[in-house]
Chain A
Amino acid sequence: MLQPATSRKSATSVKFDHVMIEFPIYSAHGRSLKRSVLEYTTGGKIGVGTDHRVVVSALNDVSFTAEHGEHIGLIGHNGAGKSTLLRAVAGVYEPMAGTISVCGHVGSLIDLTLGMDMEASGYENIRIRCLLLGLTPQEIDAHIDDIADVTELGDFLAMPVRTYSSGMMLRLAFAISTSITPDILLMDEWIGAGDASFVKKAQARLESLLGRTGILFIASHSEEIIRDNCTRAMWFEKGGIRSDGNPDDVWREYHSWSTREHG
């Protein structure tokens, strides 16, 4: 198991207190200004609009506390609420009820290529990705050679990214994304760099990133990844936490439930 390094920020924590998040489902009608105006002017009596607004509950009464040093694996079926939880920690979705308290800087590796521009050069993309990840231009200047080194792309970095192979593209994205130092790190599935020569380096880089990270949240369908890298697992089911604890125990519970459910 990976031991998180002792960081200076022992106060890092994430606390969910009876958090509820639901998504409104807007029909074509619900998104119409005309309908809203009519509802307003007629005292809301027209149609089924607001009274029958359909909502999908994504997180339902979720409470937990994550402390510094915890690596938390999120398991569960698609649509169980794992990704919503990650995004809620990142501050994307503010809860309809309950409170989320986040103490520390959040780094999101949910989408490694977010904000990358195919027509722009590798260097330009390093800059824009780093700015998106929250680095200042001075910090980027200090890091850019290091990142360029890691990619092993050499002169290709001056070329538009659209000329890259998918493996090169992944290397670039990976090198940039692993250069941050967040207190709280969010990952949707394990990130890796495909081609064989790079794998070892990528693994080392990722482990060093995890070592710098206070709290890790990773959503994964892979039992191996969660057993190897996490100190805690949470099993989500229909937007609620079904089980929370030691990864081995949670997986055992999950499996026995799966076999019961599906024969």
Chain B
Amino acid sequence: MTTGLVEHTSAQQQLREPADESPIVVHFGAASSKRDATIKDVTDALRRWHLWISLGWLDVKQRYRRAVLGPFWITISMAILVLTLGTVYAGLFKQDVHSFLPYLAGGFIVWNFCTGTINESATAFSGAEGLIKQGGIPQLLHILRTIFRNFIINAHNVSVMVLLYIWQPSLLNWHLVLLIPGLALMLINFVWISLIIGILCTRFRDLPPIIGNLLQILFFVTPVMYRPGTLPPRLSFIYQLNPFYYLIEAVRAPMLGQAPPALTYPVLVLFAAAGSYLAFRLFARTRHRIAYWL
């Protein structure tokens, strides 16, 4: 490809370019490179963040527009869940309620974000059928919109943590700063996970229930409801080899005023790199077919 050629997805947003700039030429079909087209899709999606943020916000608003409590319904149910489960499980696992309740709350808040995002990414493309068939919007944008929407909805649950901070101010300390790298790594990992799931679920319509089941299993093998230390040592591989354990810890530990396990950041960076590579390969192969599958 020569320098004058730009892939197709940029066509619409180039509207904003000054009138005297040289026009873009777009080739697709045999003359276009799938790799370049995919890179263009990704960069365009990132550059048009205004669009996915606006669409995501509208999704959130639409969901709660006429509800008095809006997204805080989820928060209330979360608070009740944590309170009841926390009391029962603290008894079952012979844990101290004082420290177990915040642990459980942090775990559930993060886990809810994970499952919400992954489950909804199954319909990220099919739910945006109208937009996709109009053209001019990068495909990755629909994935980013889904992640952003879930981020906003689940961010409301942080108010449960605020209640816990009022109860136990000692949970708040400088480790909270680690929430920033933790969340960043989590979101980066979500992008490739959601992209892969979004593509596969658009092609194979029997997949979404299977994803739901897998998440259920993942919930049990990931220390959300129990502490990793309560597992007998011969079973500790269950969480040590589980990338989702580190994904959860990266966000949960700072919220509880602790540093995440030492391996967390290297594992998550590796997970993101390997996953993004795989997702990119899949995306490059299937991106142009998504519209046909809808």
Contacts and interface: CB of A to CB of B under 8 A. Distances in A.
Contact of B16 (A9, A114, A127, A136): A136
A213 to B, nearest CB: 12
A24 B136 CA distance: 22
B58 A124 contact: yes
B134 A114 contact: yes
B134 A8 contact: no
Counting chain A residues whose Cβ lies within 8 A of the other chain, the interface size class is 35 or more
A205 interface: no
B131 A127 contact: no
B281 interface: no
A2 B213 CA distance: 60
Given A94-B28, A95-B29, A97-B30, A106 B135 contact: yes
Contacts, number: 150
Interface string B10-49: 0111111101101111111111100000000000000010
A99 B31 contact: yes
B211 to A, nearest CB: 11
B149 interface: no
A92 B133 contact: yes
Given A99-B27, A120-B61, A124-B58, A33 B210 contact: yes
B130 interface: yes
A98 interface: yes
A93 B55 contact: no
A171 B92 CA distance: 63
A245 interface: no
* Closest 4 pairs (CB-CB, A-B): A90-B135, A134-B12, A91-B8, A99-B29
A106 B15 CA distance: 8
Contact of B132 (A92, A100, A127, A131): A92
A155 B207 CA distance: 47
Interface of B: 8-9, 11-17, 19-20, 22-32, 48, 50-51, 54-55, 58, 61-62, 65-66, 130-137, 200, 203-207, 210, 288, 291-293
A21 to B, nearest CB: 9
Given A87-B133, A120-B62, 20 more contacts: A12-B23, A36-B204, A91-B8, A92-B291, A95-B29, A100-B28, A100-B29, A103-B24, A105-B12, A105-B17, A106-B135, A106-B136, A114-B134, A117-B62, A119-B61, A119-B65, A131-B48, A131-B54, A135-B16, A180-B15
A134 B58 contact: no
B62 A34 contact: no
Contact of B12 (A26, A106, A111, A117): A106
A11 B25 CA distance: 10
5 contacts: A32-B205, A34-B206, A36-B204, A94-B8, A119-B62
B29 A182 contact: no
A19 interface: yes
Counting chain A CB atoms within 10 Å of each CB, which of B12, B131, B207 scores highest? B12
A177 to B, nearest CB: 11
Given A105-B11, A105-B14, A119-B65, A8 B20 contact: yes
Given A106-B12, A133-B15, A98 B23 contact: no
Contacts of B288: 94
A132 interface: yes
A15 to B, nearest CB: 9
A95 B28 contact: yes
Interface in A145-204: 180-183
